[in-house]
Amino acid sequence: MPENVKTGETASQQTKEKVTFAGFLKSHATDLMAYAGLAVMLILFVVFNSGPRLMYNFGSVIQAAAVYAILSLGAVFIYSMGFMDVSLGQQVGVYVIMMILIGNKIGGIGGVIIGFLLVLALALVCGAINGAVSIFLGLPSIVTSLFLMFFFTGAQFLLMEGTGENTIALEVASALRPADRNAYSLMLIGIIVLLALIGTYFFKYTKLGKYTRAIGANKVAANQSGISLVKWQVLGYMALGFCTAVASFVMLTRTGTAGKGTGSGYAMDIMICLILGGMPLKGGMKSKISCALVGALTYTLLSNVLTTMGVPLQWVNFVKALIFLIIVLLTCRKSTGILPR
């Protein structure tokens, strides 16, 4: 009898463990897919970049991923609310141009610092406007970001027309980055890690992250529980504005130049990065800072792998779009829709 009871307890325990394991796989399916995708990209990257060019291309990936990672870290705060900002690319373009014009006008590193501080102030103001106007006017956040997109598109065009050139260059660009390529890559890694730690703290341990996720989970319930939608939506967009300014500065250190097409396409690229990283488009409590880092690295590795595999340039975007569509269909099939509010 004791043996039968023991056997019954063991069978029950095994069943419970199976159910628990199955539940774990189901509840973490998106995260597991994101990390699996990153692992596959890393393997393919090593295979197609074997030999002496491995470390060189790895440095190229880090430099390319830096802007995506920083923008994605800020975007997590608004995507967690179920919102998005389609003006990111145009903002980056204008901010880089402004820093170059101001830096060249004043001269020296001091001019670039002043330019960055002015850009940071503008980015924070635009974030506050984007977050507040949609609440006050009762409009979807994407509508206000469309206004900013058109505004910054025009501003970028006018700034470049005023120079009379197709591209402009920062005179002290070489002083913004280490001469050694590896040292520059390490500097970018340090910036990303620092911002990721700061972002993790605010997103996981402060009201900013908790309330933005609560708004994404259920906006009506969050409002009825006393959460100020205006305050936390504005702060969420301002967090994105801060990261946009930093990402623009990082882009300036990398290229040292800007033109009418600078920043083009970043809004959709960031959306793809977050989806590849396992970010739910509807936001909510499953939103994580890690989605930004995993997605940015996966997306950049994907671009590198497609190029080194010999995929024609005109087909690279098609392949990216196909992969993005498959991931969205697998992870975001909801009867109420899959796009952010």
SS3 percent helix, strand, coil of the chain, rounded to 5, is 80, 0, 20
For residues 291-311, one letter each, b for 16 or more C-beta atoms within 10 angstroms of the residue's C-beta and e for the rest, the string is bbbbbbbbbbbbbbbbeeeee
Name the pLDDT band for 63 (thresholds 50, 70, 90): very high
Name the pLDDT band for 10 (thresholds 50, 70, 90): low
Place of tokens 């206004």: 147
CB 278 within 8 A of CB 77: no
Name the pLDDT band for 337 (thresholds 50, 70, 90): very low
Q: Can you read off the two tokens belonging to residue 57?
A: 């291309």
Q: Vertex 262, ends 122 and 306: CA angle to 5°? A: 130
Compute the average pLDDT of residues 76-97. 92
- In single-letter form, the type of residue at position 151 comes to F
Q: How far apart are CA 75 and CA 80, in angstroms?
A: 8
Q: What is the pLDDT of residues 124-175, one digit of tens each?
A: 999 998 888 877 777 777 888 888 899 999 999 999 998 888 899 999 988 8
Single pTM value for the model = 0.87
| Res 1: pLDDT | 46
| Res 245: pLDDT | 96
Q: How far apart are CA 60 and CA 290, in angstroms?
A: 21
Q: How far apart are CA 29 and CA 231, in angstroms?
A: 33
Name the pLDDT band for 339 (thresholds 50, 70, 90): very low
Q: Give me the domains of the chain, ranges plus CATH numbers.
A: 42-330 (1.10.3470.10)
Q: Can you read off the two tokens belonging to residue 103?
A: 């830096």
Q: How far apart are CA 260 and CA 159, in angstroms?
A: 9
Question: Partners of 257 in the beta sheet?
Answer: 169
- Judged by average pLDDT, the poorest of 122-131, 301-310, 330-339 is 330-339
Q: How far apart are CA 232 and CA 326, in angstroms?
A: 33
Q: How far apart are CA 248 and CA 335, in angstroms?
A: 38
Q: Residue 271 — φ and ψ, nearest 5°?
A: -60, -45
